[in-house]
DNA sequence: ATAGGGTCTGTAGCAGCTACAGGGTCAAGA
DNA sequence: TCTTGACCCTGTAGCTGCTACAGACCCTAT
């Protein structure tokens, strides 16, 4: 399987596959005489594992640990569960943060009555934190 | 006001203030004879506007537009409301995505019965997307 | 004189890709 | 046989929004 086929089989950009190889997440595949990467089924499965984990929001480093466990079926697997639980907690935290954000934003949005910026309530609310209910500490990435 | 005082007054790292100046979000302030930045109250207000907007999750580019409106009180301000509504929508989308994630993750987590990685349900679930309910298309950043 | 704080510029790093530039390879059609 | 076009290669730079240096300067107190 050449890289383009692997790309299609897994829905992963070619550049991303090469990137995963560069950072050691994917093992370097065999090469054809002309230097093309040549993948087999285990590569594809590994890449699917990676993509699925990424889709679930795991970081590269978490995936590295998970793959390491997957590579050593004899090891104790409680680490895997620990990583996943921790991750779930983070997702829940993020949801809470975003729900707070949504509240503040919905208080701000829709208050513009189509006038001029000078007395726009939206601008005003952004300028003055004291309109807010919560301290919303720290920028929340979307 | 020197940069350190502005930093404390707004809870913004010094490097971040200089960064905002470099990207044109904060205007270059006056300088003391020895080259130190010297800020006045309008700078502090502007920085508070920026920080507050960042805390609400607006991107730098969105904030640029909002500041632009704030700088021109005579302009029509419906843009401000549009930016904020759009942003609210994105926050809501993100919440939905994360809630899906949470569901999938909570299905995966806790299935490890403390055995070996070889028959760990967590690893298994990551390897095989077909366990999942939803397609969870595309990686979701936390 | 010196020690400590603060400040300056400029550059590099983080995550996780994505997007080139500038070249080589390969199969099919004229 | 030649050429076209699709594919592949390496290497590097860019994205967002900061953060963290290095190496220098300034200012005040002792």
Mean pLDDT estimate for chain A: 92
Query: Of A125, A133, A91, which is closest to residue B83 (Cα–Cα)?
Result: A125
Q: Which residues of B touch A134 (CB under 8 A)?
A: none
Cα→Cα distances A46→A10, B55, B121, B123, Å: 10, 38, 16, 12
Supply the pLDDT for residue A139.
80
Mean pLDDT estimate for chain B: 92
Note whether A77 contacts B104, CB cutoff 8 Å: no
Note whether A49 contacts B78, CB cutoff 8 Å: no
Q: What is the three-class DSSP state of A124?
A: helix
Note whether A117 contacts B91, CB cutoff 8 Å: no
Supply the pLDDT for residue B109.
87
Compute the distance between CA of residue B131 and CA of residue A127 in angstroms, rounded to an integer.
48
Q: Which residues of B touch A91 (CB under 8 A)?
A: 98, 101-102, 105, 142
Compute the distance between CA of residue A75 and CA of residue A77 in angstroms, rounded to an integer.
6
Q: What mean pLDDT is predicted for residues B80-93? A: 94
Out of A118-122, B44-48, B122-126, which region has the weakest mean confidence (pLDDT)? A118-122
Supply the pLDDT for residue A77.
85
Instruction: Name A132's Cβ contacts closer than 8 Å, sequence gap at least 6.
Output: A104, A107, A125
* B86 and A CB contact within 8 Å: no
Q: Which residues of B touch A85 (CB under 8 A)?
A: 109-110
Residues 35-54 of B with CB under 7 A from strand D: 35, 54
Supply the pLDDT for residue A17.
98
pLDDT(B76) > 90? no
- For the CA of A1 and the C1' of D2, the distance in angstroms is 29
> Above pLDDT 70, what percent of chain A?
99
Instruction: Name B72's Cβ contacts closer than 8 Å, sequence gap at least 6.
Output: A117
| pLDDT, tens digit (0-9, with 9 covering 90-100), for B18-33 | 999 999 999 999 999 9
Q: Where does the pLDDT of residue B110 fall: very low under 50, low under 70, confident under 90, or very high at 90 and above?
A: confident
pLDDT(A133) > 80? no
Q: What mean pLDDT is predicted for residues B132-140? A: 78
pLDDT(A119) > 80? no
B53, B63 Cβ separation under 8 angstroms: yes
B101, A89 Cβ separation under 8 angstroms: no
How far A40 CA sits from the closest chain B CA (Å)?
16
Q: DSSP letter at A131?
A: G
Q: Is there contact between A79 and strand C, defined as CB under 7 Å from any strand atom? A: no
Supply the pLDDT for residue A111.
75
Query: Of B107, B115, B98, B139, which is closest to residue A74 (Cα–Cα)?
Result: B115
Compute the distance between CA of residue B4 and CA of residue A64 in angstroms, rounded to an integer.
41
Q: What mean pLDDT is predicted for residues B99-126? A: 86
Instruction: Name A91's Cβ contacts closer than 8 Å, sequence gap at least 6.
Output: A57, B98, B101, B102, B105, B142
Other CB atoms within 10 A of residue B126 CB: 26
Supply the pLDDT for residue A41.
97
pLDDT(A33) > 90? yes
If you average pLDDT over each of B19-23, B130-134, B136-140, which comes out highest?
B19-23
- Structure tokens belonging to residue A32: 């054809």
Residues 17-36 of B with CB under 7 A from strand C: 18, 35-36
* A110 and B CB contact within 8 Å: yes
How far A123 CA sits from the closest chain B CA (Å)?
6
| pLDDT, tens digit (0-9, with 9 covering 90-100), for A61-100 | 999 999 999 999 999 888 899 999 999 999 999 999 999 9
A16, A8 Cβ separation under 8 angstroms: no
Supply the pLDDT for residue B111.
76
């Amino acid at each position: 399987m050449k890289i383009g086929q692997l790309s299609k089989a897994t829905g992963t950009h070619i550049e991303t596959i090469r990137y995963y190889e560069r950072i050691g997440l994917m093992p370097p595949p065999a090469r054809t005489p002309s230097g093309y990467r040549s993948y087999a089924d285990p590569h594809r499965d590994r890449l699917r594992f990676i993509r699925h984990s990424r889709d679930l929001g795991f970081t590269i480093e978490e995936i590295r640990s998970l793959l390491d466990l997957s590579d050593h079926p004899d090891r104790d697997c409680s680490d895997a569960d620990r990583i996943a639980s921790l991750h779930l907690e983070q997702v829940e935290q993020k949801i809470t943060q975003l729900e707070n954000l949504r509240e503040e934003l919905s208080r701000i949005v829709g208050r513009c009555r189509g006038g001029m910026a000078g007395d726009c309530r939206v601008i005003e609310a952004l300028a003055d934190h004291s309109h807010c209910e919560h301290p919303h500490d720290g920028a929340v990435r979307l």
